[in-house]
Amino acid sequence: MTYTLTLKEKHPVTHDTYRMVFDRPEGFDFKPGQATHWALDEDGWRDEDRAFTMTSQPEETDRLEFVIKTYPDHDNGVTKQIPGMSPGDQVLADAPDGAITDHGPGYFIAGGAGVTPYIPILRRRAKDGTLEGSVLIYSNETERDIILRDEWEQMDGLETIFVVTDEAAEGLHHGMIDADFLKKHATDTSKPCYICGPQQMVDDIRDALKDAGFDEDKIVTENGW
Protein backbone atom coordinates (compact mmCIF):
# COMPACT_ATOMS: atom_id res chain seq x y z
CA MET A 1 0.00 0.00 0.00
CA THR A 2 1.34 3.42 -0.97
CA TYR A 3 0.07 6.64 0.63
CA THR A 4 0.45 10.19 -0.63
CA LEU A 5 1.35 12.67 2.13
CA THR A 6 1.11 16.42 1.60
CA LEU A 7 3.41 18.73 3.56
CA LYS A 8 1.56 21.25 5.73
CA GLU A 9 4.32 22.75 7.93
CA LYS A 10 8.12 22.73 8.23
CA HIS A 11 10.09 24.25 11.11
CA PRO A 12 13.77 24.04 12.14
CA VAL A 13 14.63 22.06 15.28
CA THR A 14 18.44 22.34 15.15
CA HIS A 15 20.88 23.72 12.58
CA ASP A 16 20.30 20.65 10.38
CA THR A 17 17.07 19.06 11.66
CA TYR A 18 13.46 19.88 10.78
CA ARG A 19 10.03 19.15 12.17
CA MET A 20 7.75 18.34 9.25
CA VAL A 21 3.98 17.99 9.51
CA PHE A 22 1.98 16.24 6.79
CA ASP A 23 -1.69 15.42 6.43
CA ARG A 24 -2.59 11.89 7.51
CA PRO A 25 -4.39 9.67 5.01
CA GLU A 26 -7.10 7.28 6.11
CA GLY A 27 -5.79 3.83 7.04
CA PHE A 28 -2.26 5.01 7.88
CA ASP A 29 -2.04 3.24 11.25
CA PHE A 30 1.05 2.83 13.42
CA LYS A 31 2.40 2.37 16.94
CA PRO A 32 4.63 4.95 18.68
CA GLY A 33 8.21 4.31 17.56
CA GLN A 34 7.40 2.85 14.16
CA ALA A 35 8.50 4.31 10.83
CA THR A 36 7.61 4.43 7.16
CA HIS A 37 9.70 4.50 4.02
CA TRP A 38 8.90 7.55 1.95
CA ALA A 39 10.18 9.14 -1.22
CA LEU A 40 9.74 12.55 -2.79
CA ASP A 41 6.91 12.55 -5.33
CA GLU A 42 9.10 14.11 -8.01
CA ASP A 43 10.71 12.86 -11.20
CA GLY A 44 14.01 11.17 -10.41
CA TRP A 45 13.20 10.72 -6.72
CA ARG A 46 10.27 8.29 -6.51
CA ASP A 47 12.57 5.26 -6.22
CA GLU A 48 14.83 6.93 -3.62
CA ASP A 49 12.94 6.03 -0.45
CA ARG A 50 14.30 6.29 3.10
CA ALA A 51 12.94 5.28 6.51
CA PHE A 52 11.56 8.08 8.69
CA THR A 53 9.91 7.72 12.09
CA MET A 54 6.50 9.20 12.84
CA THR A 55 6.95 11.42 15.89
CA SER A 56 3.27 12.29 16.28
CA GLN A 57 0.88 10.05 18.21
CA PRO A 58 -1.44 7.46 16.62
CA GLU A 59 -4.52 9.25 17.98
CA GLU A 60 -3.62 12.45 16.10
CA THR A 61 -5.77 11.55 13.12
CA ASP A 62 -5.39 14.83 11.22
CA ARG A 63 -1.57 15.05 11.10
CA LEU A 64 1.67 13.13 10.75
CA GLU A 65 4.81 14.62 12.26
CA PHE A 66 8.38 13.67 11.42
CA VAL A 67 11.62 15.02 12.91
CA ILE A 68 14.26 14.63 10.19
CA LYS A 69 17.98 15.26 10.32
CA THR A 70 19.47 16.40 7.02
CA TYR A 71 22.88 15.49 5.63
CA PRO A 72 24.01 18.28 3.26
CA ASP A 73 27.29 16.49 2.55
CA HIS A 74 25.52 13.43 1.07
CA ASP A 75 25.57 13.91 -2.69
CA ASN A 76 22.12 13.30 -4.20
CA GLY A 77 20.80 12.34 -0.77
CA VAL A 78 17.09 12.40 0.01
CA THR A 79 17.51 14.44 3.18
CA LYS A 80 19.58 16.99 1.26
CA GLN A 81 16.30 17.96 -0.44
CA ILE A 82 14.44 18.59 2.84
CA PRO A 83 15.52 22.25 3.36
CA GLY A 84 14.06 23.14 -0.03
CA MET A 85 10.66 21.56 0.59
CA SER A 86 7.62 23.77 1.22
CA PRO A 87 3.93 23.30 2.09
CA GLY A 88 2.09 21.56 -0.72
CA ASP A 89 4.99 19.27 -1.65
CA GLN A 90 4.13 15.58 -1.58
CA VAL A 91 5.86 12.33 -0.67
CA LEU A 92 4.96 8.70 -1.33
CA ALA A 93 4.92 6.57 1.84
CA ASP A 94 4.75 2.83 2.48
CA ALA A 95 2.68 1.23 5.23
CA PRO A 96 4.25 1.79 8.67
CA ASP A 97 6.40 -0.93 10.23
CA GLY A 98 9.33 -1.35 12.60
CA ALA A 99 10.38 -3.26 15.70
CA ILE A 100 11.01 -0.31 18.02
CA THR A 101 7.82 0.14 20.02
CA ASP A 102 7.18 0.67 23.74
CA HIS A 103 8.40 -2.33 25.74
CA GLY A 104 8.36 -0.47 29.04
CA PRO A 105 10.65 1.95 30.92
CA GLY A 106 14.31 1.25 30.28
CA TYR A 107 17.49 2.51 28.68
CA PHE A 108 16.87 4.44 25.46
CA ILE A 109 20.24 4.59 23.68
CA ALA A 110 20.52 6.71 20.54
CA GLY A 111 23.05 8.16 18.15
CA GLY A 112 22.13 11.26 16.13
CA ALA A 113 18.85 10.86 14.26
CA GLY A 114 18.40 7.50 16.01
CA VAL A 115 16.61 9.37 18.78
CA THR A 116 13.49 9.83 16.63
CA PRO A 117 11.72 6.54 17.52
CA TYR A 118 11.94 7.54 21.17
CA ILE A 119 10.22 10.90 20.66
CA PRO A 120 6.64 9.53 20.50
CA ILE A 121 7.32 6.80 23.07
CA LEU A 122 8.74 9.14 25.70
CA ARG A 123 6.20 11.87 24.95
CA ARG A 124 3.42 9.36 25.52
CA ARG A 125 4.94 8.24 28.81
CA ALA A 126 5.49 11.85 29.89
CA LYS A 127 1.83 12.60 29.21
CA ASP A 128 0.71 9.49 31.11
CA GLY A 129 3.10 10.09 34.02
CA THR A 130 4.87 6.75 33.46
CA LEU A 131 8.42 7.88 32.66
CA GLU A 132 9.91 6.86 36.00
CA GLY A 133 12.77 4.42 35.47
CA SER A 134 13.52 5.60 31.91
CA VAL A 135 17.02 6.78 30.95
CA LEU A 136 17.85 8.52 27.68
CA ILE A 137 21.50 7.99 26.70
CA TYR A 138 21.99 10.17 23.62
CA SER A 139 25.20 10.55 21.62
CA ASN A 140 25.99 13.25 19.05
CA GLU A 141 29.10 14.70 17.47
CA THR A 142 28.65 18.14 19.06
CA GLU A 143 26.42 19.85 21.59
CA ARG A 144 24.49 21.78 18.96
CA ASP A 145 23.51 18.50 17.27
CA ILE A 146 21.36 17.39 20.23
CA ILE A 147 17.77 17.11 19.00
CA LEU A 148 15.02 18.35 21.38
CA ARG A 149 17.42 18.73 24.31
CA ASP A 150 15.17 21.19 26.17
CA GLU A 151 12.18 18.88 25.84
CA TRP A 152 14.10 15.87 27.15
CA GLU A 153 15.45 17.80 30.13
CA GLN A 154 11.97 19.01 31.08
CA MET A 155 10.34 15.57 31.08
CA ASP A 156 9.47 14.67 34.66
CA GLY A 157 10.87 11.25 35.51
CA LEU A 158 13.28 10.95 32.58
CA GLU A 159 17.00 10.77 33.34
CA THR A 160 19.08 12.25 30.52
CA ILE A 161 22.71 11.48 29.75
CA PHE A 162 24.07 13.43 26.78
CA VAL A 163 27.30 12.31 25.13
CA VAL A 164 29.40 14.18 22.53
CA THR A 165 32.22 12.64 20.55
CA ASP A 166 33.90 15.51 18.73
CA GLU A 167 34.24 18.21 21.38
CA ALA A 168 34.42 18.77 25.11
CA ALA A 169 31.26 20.49 26.39
CA GLU A 170 30.50 21.49 29.96
CA GLY A 171 28.13 19.10 31.69
CA LEU A 172 28.23 16.52 28.88
CA HIS A 173 30.07 13.24 28.67
CA HIS A 174 32.88 13.24 26.10
CA GLY A 175 33.70 10.04 24.26
CA MET A 176 31.96 6.94 22.99
CA ILE A 177 29.14 4.85 24.43
CA ASP A 178 31.29 1.77 24.97
CA ALA A 179 31.30 -1.19 27.34
CA ASP A 180 32.87 0.76 30.21
CA PHE A 181 30.32 3.57 29.81
CA LEU A 182 27.40 1.11 29.81
CA LYS A 183 28.69 -0.65 32.92
CA LYS A 184 28.36 2.67 34.76
CA HIS A 185 25.06 3.89 33.31
CA ALA A 186 23.03 0.80 32.31
CA THR A 187 23.20 -1.28 35.46
CA ASP A 188 19.70 -2.79 35.77
CA THR A 189 19.70 -5.85 33.52
CA SER A 190 15.99 -6.44 34.16
CA LYS A 191 15.07 -3.36 32.08
CA PRO A 192 14.69 -3.29 28.31
CA CYS A 193 17.45 -1.58 26.32
CA TYR A 194 16.47 0.23 23.14
CA ILE A 195 19.21 0.99 20.59
CA CYS A 196 18.87 3.12 17.46
CA GLY A 197 21.55 4.85 15.41
CA PRO A 198 24.25 4.01 12.86
CA GLN A 199 24.42 0.25 12.29
CA GLN A 200 27.96 -0.17 13.63
CA MET A 201 26.99 1.66 16.81
CA VAL A 202 23.93 -0.56 17.22
CA ASP A 203 25.98 -3.72 16.73
CA ASP A 204 28.71 -2.64 19.15
CA ILE A 205 26.27 -1.58 21.88
CA ARG A 206 24.21 -4.75 21.50
CA ASP A 207 27.36 -6.85 22.01
CA ALA A 208 28.41 -4.75 24.99
CA LEU A 209 24.99 -5.08 26.61
CA LYS A 210 24.99 -8.85 26.18
CA ASP A 211 28.46 -9.00 27.72
CA ALA A 212 27.10 -6.90 30.61
CA GLY A 213 24.39 -9.48 31.30
CA PHE A 214 21.37 -8.24 29.32
CA ASP A 215 19.35 -11.03 27.72
CA GLU A 216 18.83 -10.84 23.97
CA ASP A 217 15.08 -10.47 24.43
CA LYS A 218 15.66 -7.31 26.51
CA ILE A 219 17.44 -5.58 23.62
CA VAL A 220 15.14 -3.73 21.21
CA THR A 221 16.50 -2.64 17.80
CA GLU A 222 15.22 -2.36 14.24
CA ASN A 223 17.00 -5.53 13.17
CA GLY A 224 17.98 -4.00 9.83
CA TRP A 225 14.48 -2.85 8.83
Give the tens place of pLDDT for each residue, 93-125. 999 999 999 999 999 999 999 999 999 999 999
Q: Is residue 20 in some structural domain?
A: yes
**Stated pTM of the model:** 0.95
Q: Are residues 90 and 117 in the same domain?
A: no
Last residue of a domain, one of 59, 94, 129: 94
Q: Is residue 100 in some structural domain?
A: no
- Rg over alpha carbons for the chain, rounded to the nearest Å, is 17
Q: Are residues 116 and 192 in the same domain?
A: yes
Q: Are residues 111 and 87 in the same domain?
A: no
Q: Are residues 89 and 112 in the same domain?
A: no
90-94, strands of its sheet edge to edge:
50-53, 35-40, 90-94, 2-14, 17-22, 64-69
CA nearest to 134, candidates 186, 177, 180: 186
Q: Are residues 129 and 65 in the same domain?
A: no
Q: Are residues 67 and 141 in the same domain?
A: no
Q: How far apart are CA 217 and CA 219, in angstroms?
A: 5
Q: How many of the other CB atoms lie within 10 Å of CB of 66?
A: 24
Mean pLDDT by 10 residues, the chain (225 residues): 97 97 97 97 94 97 96 78 96 96 98 97 97 98 98 97 96 94 95 96 96 94 69
Q: Could you give the number of structural domains in the chain? A: 2
Q: Are residues 161 and 199 in the same domain?
A: yes
Q: Are residues 188 and 142 in the same domain?
A: yes
CATH code for the domain in which residue 150 is found:
3.40.50.80
Q: How far apart are CA 140 and CA 214, in angstroms?
A: 24
Q: Is residue 140 in some structural domain?
A: yes
Q: Residue 46's domain spans which residues?
A: 2-94
Query: Do 100 and 196 touch, CB atoms closer than 8 A?
Result: yes
Q: Are residues 147 and 51 in the same domain?
A: no
> Residue 99: which residues within 8 A CB-CB, separation 6 or more?
220, 221, 222, 223, 225
pLDDT of residue 225: 43
Q: Are residues 135 and 205 in the same domain?
A: yes
